[in-house]
Amino acid sequence: MLEDNKAFPQNLKIREAEKVEITSLMDNSVDFLSTVRRKEVKSVREWTKKLFRLPIAEHGFSMLIRVSDGKGFHSVLFDAGISPNGVVINAKRMGIRLAEIECIVLSHGHYDHFGGLKAIVKAVRKDNLPIIVHEEMFKRRGVANPDGTIREYPAFPTEERVKPAKYIKTKQPSLIAENLILVTGEIPRTTSFEKGYPQHRAFVNGEWQPDPLIWDDRALVISIKNKGLVIVSGCAHAGIVNTILYAQQLTGIRAVYAVLGGFHLAGKESEPRINQTVEGLKKMNPNMVAPSHCTGWRGIYAIAKTMPEAFVWNSIGNLYTL
Structure confidence at residue 5 (pLDDT): 42
Structure confidence at residue 10 (pLDDT): 46
Confidence tier at 4 by pLDDT (50, 70, 90)? very low
* Residue 223 within a domain: yes
Q: Residue 189: which CATH number?
A: 3.60.15.10
Structure confidence at residue 51 (pLDDT): 67
* Residue 6 within a domain: no
34-77 pLDDT, tens digit per residue, is 888 899 999 887 777 776 788 999 999 999 999 999 999 999 99
Structural domain boundaries enclosing 175: 16-321
> Does the pLDDT value for residue 3 go beyond 50?
no
Confidence tier at 11 by pLDDT (50, 70, 90)? low
How many Cβ atoms sit within 10 Å of the Cβ of residue 52? 8
* Residue 3 within a domain: no
* CA angle, residues 306, 311, 312, in degrees to nearest 5: 155
Confidence tier at 203 by pLDDT (50, 70, 90)? very high
126-141 pLDDT, tens digit per residue, is 999 999 999 999 999 9
> Does the pLDDT value for residue 178 go beyond 90?
yes
Confidence tier at 79 by pLDDT (50, 70, 90)? very high
* Residue 275 within a domain: yes
Please count the structural domains in the chain.
Answer: 1
Instruction: Please tell me whether residue 105 adopts helix, strand or coil conformation.
Output: strand
* Residue 25 within a domain: yes
* Residue type at position 261: G
* Residue 4 within a domain: no
Computed over every residue of the chain, the mean pLDDT equals 94
* Residue 160 within a domain: yes
235-282 pLDDT, tens digit per residue, is 999 999 999 999 999 999 999 999 999 999 999 999 999 999 999 999
3-state secondary structure 223-280: EECCCEEEEEECCCCCCHHHHHHHHHHHHCCCCEEEEEEECCCCCCCCHHHHHHHHHH
> Does the pLDDT value for residue 7 go beyond 70?
no
Structure confidence at residue 2 (pLDDT): 45
Structure confidence at residue 54 (pLDDT): 87
